[in-house]
């Protein structure tokens, strides 16, 4: 399963991707992080090929706008919101975010978030419904 990681900061992406790649349950689900440094790029792909799990680490306003988009267009998609302002924690749960984590996100916090996402996907019997031909997504092209 492809995990969308949305952040403009390459170092932040690497830290989140490392946490995804070291997630203890990763092998069971074959998780592959994919970086989206642009709001527009993520939006365009998400509308065509919804992700099972998206980790938003843009600024909180962009996280909120994209979370609403995901919630409205792909109800089963799971969201992890990594933010800078804890006041957005309430907003994140209104759009069914699995977890809200303050920046910088620790590896264990990402693991807890992924656990919640996986549990929700299982409960909704959606764990395999997001499989798609990722190779033909044409990201960046």
Q: Are 40 and 70 in contact (CB under 8 A)?
A: no
| pLDDT digits 0-9 by tens, 121-139 | 999 888 777 765 444 455 5
The predicted pLDDT at position 140 comes to 47
- Quote the CA–CA distance of 80 and 78 in Å, as a whole number: 7
Domain covering 2-134, topology: Rossmann fold (3.40.50)
pLDDT band at 26 (very low <50, low <70, confident <90, very high): confident
CA distances from residue 2 to 5, 31, 112 in whole angstroms, order as listed: 9, 6, 18
pTM over cut 0.85: yes
Hey, where are the domains in the chain?
2-134
Instruction: Give the three-class secondary structure for 96.
Output: coil
């Amino acid at each position: 399963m492809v995990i969308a990681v949305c952040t403009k900061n390459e170092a932040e992406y690497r830290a989140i991707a490392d946490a995804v790649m070291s997630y203890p349950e990763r092998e069971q689900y074959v998780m592959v992080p994919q970086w989206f440094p642009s709001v527009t790029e993520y939006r365009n792909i998400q509308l065509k090929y919804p992700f099972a799990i998206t980790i938003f680490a843009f600024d909180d306003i962009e996280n909120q706008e994209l979370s609403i988009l995901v919630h409205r267009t792909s109800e089963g998609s799971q969201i992890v919101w990594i933010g800078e302002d804890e006041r957005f924690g309430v907003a994140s749960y209104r759009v069914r975010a699995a977890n809200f984590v303050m920046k910088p996100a620790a590896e264990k916090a990402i693991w807890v978030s992924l656990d919640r996402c996986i549990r929700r996907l299982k409960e909704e019997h959606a764990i395999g419904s997001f499989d798609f031909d990722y190779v033909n997504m044409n990201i960046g092209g």
